[in-house]
Amino acid sequence: MDVMERLRPESYDEAARVLNEAAARGNVAIVGGGSREAWFPPAREPVAVLESSALRGIVRYTPADLTICARAGTPLAELGEVLGRERQRLPLDPWPQGSVGGVIASNDNGPLRTRWGGVRDMLIGVRVALPNGQVVRFGGDVVKNVAGYDLTKGYVGSAGAFGLIVEATFKVQPQPVRSACAALSGTLEGLGAAWRALRERALPFAALEVVRDQSRWRLYALAEGDEVVVERLLRECMEAARSAGCTLEQAACSDVVEWAHKPAAASVWLRIGVPPARTADVLRALPQELAAIARPWVGIVDVCGDALDAATAELILRRALDAHGHAHLRRAPSALRLQLGWWRMERGGGGAALFPMLKNALDPGHCCNTGRTVYDCTGPGAAASPQRAADI
Amino acid sequence: MIEQSASFTQRLRAIVGDDGLLTDPQQLRLYMYDGSIERALPLAVVLPRTPEQVAALVRLCHAEGVFLTPRGAGTGLSGGSIPLCGGVVLSLARMKAILSVDTENQMATVEPGLVNLDLTRHVSPKGFQYVPDPSSQGACTIGGNVAENSGGPHTLTGGVTTNHVLELQLVLADGTQVSVGSQAPDPPGPDLVGVVCGSEGTIAIVTRIVCRIVRKAECVRTMLAAFDSCRAASEAVSAVIASGIVPTAMEMMDHPALSAIEAFSHAGYPVDAGAVLLLELEALREEVEDAAPRVVEICRAGGASEVRVARNEEEREALWKGRKKAFGAMGRIGPSYYVQDGVIPRTRLPEVLDRVEEAARKVGLRVANVFHAGDGNLHPLILFDDHDPDQAKRAIAAGEEILRACVEAGGSITGEHGVGMEKRDYMGLQFSEATLAAFTAFRDACDPGHTLNPYKLLPSGLGCAEGGKRQKTLTQMQALAERNAAIGEAY
């Protein structure tokens, strides 16, 4: 078998040209930095692999505008360094970090999702190489912009289905002056009472992570901001711990980071999303041998471990669906993958209708990463997704 | 033809009942307008009460090739709800229920005709609010906000409508009912809610919205700073941001705007100032108490002649009152106004404001500025007499010049009012032919017959540049427009 051609264009125009040429021959696999390649079903029978890795560097950055524009292959870490020199940051902290384009296409995020939202809340524009050989631009460099369809959003979570992202612009923010972390330990019920009490007071914690290691439950609260804010948030943690009957423990900000890095190192990683108030329901049902990291204010639960049998996994997935949530099996040994597929989600029918409309408009030949999303994957790895009535 | 139109009307009536259909020309005239300077008469107005009725109406119009223009409260400023080619106006005004409020998950399910402010009023006793707050929030609907992806003064930190929508129930162009998004975070696949928000009623009609509600901040502080010039005020905006403080709102009003506003709403604004900044901090008590004096200091250092801090809710409301009613106040200084909505990177404010001034001067008209300085979203109000066609023409020319300046400064032709029919021919200033072709391809894929809100958002002449397929669509649309007109004549 031929070694598949790998295309690493160095300019936007070159990207559009080589994509156009490859698309004329067949399907094209589109990859960013490659760090999340195994999270999605493989592209269907590609004749070439198109990478954004040679499209690297900052395009525009005016710190006073709090926006930054970078080429898609720029590692997120490099973007962070450039921003850090101006004491700014992009509050997006997924792990692995990967590239700018990859984090958009995979719609990934980390602990800071609690306070600052996801990719869709920070991304204000993309430039894309389309299979028709054109480079197009959606959105722009300004923080408010309703000109034309907001197709920028369509690229968030697109897994390369609509062409190669070559450039992106984000809103950024000042770095917090200070960060500190508190940890509460106790029963899941006690911690649940604490995180609910804190939420009711609209306290701006940067991150709130409930973790289970063996049989111990712990709630990490990351406080960021000016000195007075951090002090206040730490005081609130103390108060919440006392009234919920939990123990306050010493913790470092790096604890939050360490926990957030765990799933990527495990052989099984299941990312579950549920309405936030259902987080505890999902956690309560998890078998002992699995570790869990959850964002209870958001409704994200990362379940990870070294072994998971299909029957247990089905029970966990069932619970996520029952809670009107969804799940993405990000990492799995191949046997489990074959049994479980990639996703579980309720579908309101809108995706099944709108996804092909976007695909037909942007990739009418259906040659870009076809088969990699929940809406067009097929075969044993596909999602078993119950259809739901449109009524919400 | 008459027979056919009668049967069409009967079929509309069969769906919405007698009280859901307006055909009396007197009543139809009320639906000629929105908040823009455009107008056109529909052949009928339907007022459905359920998503099923909306779906049936869309199916009927789709089958008959009759244009359908969705409408919220008609407060839009870009002509988005004007029935440009006649056809049917579908008003969502009667679908205005708050279906559920879930404080535990911080979300509410509402119908599209719900007035924006009514949601905040409803959840306020529980300590919650709905963040997007367009100045017309006392009248505009949440469905309309979704269509336009509306903003407001508090979007600098809070985000615009799309950032507050979780799930949407839709009727697609062929009348099928579906939903997109999820009440759980980050659903797999592309962000389809984000694609629908801001699509201006051209790809689907929204029949139900699950939106985020958030707890009100613990402490709010509003202050007003008076400067000699817009330039000085703009520089103060950048200085505040550079200090690491991001206020929830930073609104600017220039001298002409101030005099009009003060005469209209007696908000107590310093009318002799060259420009006024209205700043609001919303956060924890400690944070506000720490940041507020720093903001005052920065404004003073930037040349503010006066800085006033609201001491209580009453004073805060007084400061906001003038700003929120600013557009209405323009009647004090001119018979009519033409408002633009361009956006620029915040650091380019001083030079672009000069160009705004110059654009108006060049055509011999006055301009007043009331805008969201924090996010660089301009609202130059070009004052003219709408009974004088020449003045109207000059106002439009100045408007175009201003949009050109915004795009040249790296910005956008619209930040929150939408493209509608008013700015569709300026899309080419901002987007390349290839990008416009992608927009058109998306529109064609969603609604091949362009039945939903036709001739909006996309450049009117785009088809000619594209040859074959599009030409055919245009010819079909021309035929449809004639057919719509013919049905209209039958009344």
Structure tokens at A251: 């913790």
Tell me: the pLDDT tens digits for A75-131? Answer: 999 999 999 999 999 999 999 999 999 999 999 999 999 999 999 999 999 999 999
In this predicted structure, what is the pLDDT of residue B490? 42
CATH number, domain of B442, equals 3.30.43.10
Question: Are the beta carbons of B345 and A231 separated by less than 8 Å?
Answer: no
Question: Are the beta carbons of B184 and A273 separated by less than 8 Å?
Answer: yes
For residue B52, what are the domain limits? 1-94+433-491
DSSP state string for A226-257: SHHHHHHHHHHHHHHHHHHT-EEEE--HHHHH
Does B261 reside within a domain?
Answer: yes
Residues pairing with B367 in the sheet = B382
Give the E-state strand segments of B186-309 in sequence order: 204-212, 214-215, 219-227, 249-254, 275-283, 306-309
**Same domain for B209 and B190?**
yes
User: Burial, A244: exposed, middle or buried (Cβ in 10 Å; 0-12, 13-18, 19+)?
Assistant: buried
**Same domain for B133 and B192?**
yes
Structure tokens at B51: 């998503």
Per DSSP, the three-state class of B480 is: helix
Question: Are the beta carbons of A157 and B190 separated by less than 8 Å?
Answer: yes
Read off the pLDDT of each residue in B148-162 and give the average, rounded to a whole number: 92
Structure tokens at B98: 């708050």
Pick from B102, B181, B189: which is nearest to A355 by CB? B189
Read off the pLDDT of each residue in B152-161 and give the average, rounded to a whole number: 90
**Cα(A136)–Cα(A128) distance, rounded to whole angstroms?**
5
CATH 3.40.50.150 fits A1-175+348-392, yes or no: no
Query: For the domain bounded by A178-340, which CATH number is listed?
Result: 3.40.462.10
**Same domain for B169 and B191?**
yes
**CA torsion sign, B123 to A145 to A86 to B245?**
negative
What is the phi/psi pair of residue B191, to 5°? -80, 90
Tell me: the pLDDT tens digits for B393-409? Answer: 999 999 999 999 999 99
Per DSSP, the three-state class of A200 is: helix
Read off the pLDDT of each residue in A194-207 and give the average, rounded to a whole number: 96
Residues pairing with B215 in the sheet = B128
Give the up-direction half-sphere exposure of residue B188: CA atoms within 13 A in the CB hemisphere.
28
Q: Where in chain A is the domain with CATH 3.40.462.10?
A: 178-340
Does B425 reside within a domain?
Answer: no
What total number of domains does chain B contain? Answer: 4
In this predicted structure, what is the pLDDT of residue A213? 84
CATH number, domain of B395, equals 3.30.70.2740
Q: How far is A92 from chain B (nearest CA, A)?
A: 14
Confidence label for B465 from pLDDT (cuts 50, 70 and 90): very low
Does B281 reside within a domain?
Answer: yes
Q: Where in chain A is the domain with CATH 3.30.465.10?
A: 1-175+348-392
Tell which wins on pLDDT, B318 or B45. Answer: B45
ipTM: 0.96
A-to-B residue pairs, Cβ atoms closer than 8 angstroms: 304
**Same domain for B37 and B56?**
yes
**Cα(B331)–Cα(B334) distance, rounded to whole angstroms?**
5
Strands across the sheet with B165-172, in order?
B98-102, B107-110, B204-212, B165-172, B177-181
Q: How far is A274 from chain B (nearest CA, A)?
A: 4
Residue A142: list chain B partners with CB under 8 A. 343-345, 375-376, 410-412, 415
**Cα(B168)–Cα(A260) distance, rounded to whole angstroms?**
31
Residue B80: list chain A partners with CB under 8 A. none
Residue A129: list chain B partners with CB under 8 A. none
Q: Are B40 and B83 in contact (CB under 8 A)?
A: yes
Confidence label for B434 from pLDDT (cuts 50, 70 and 90): very high
In this predicted structure, what is the pLDDT of residue B324? 86
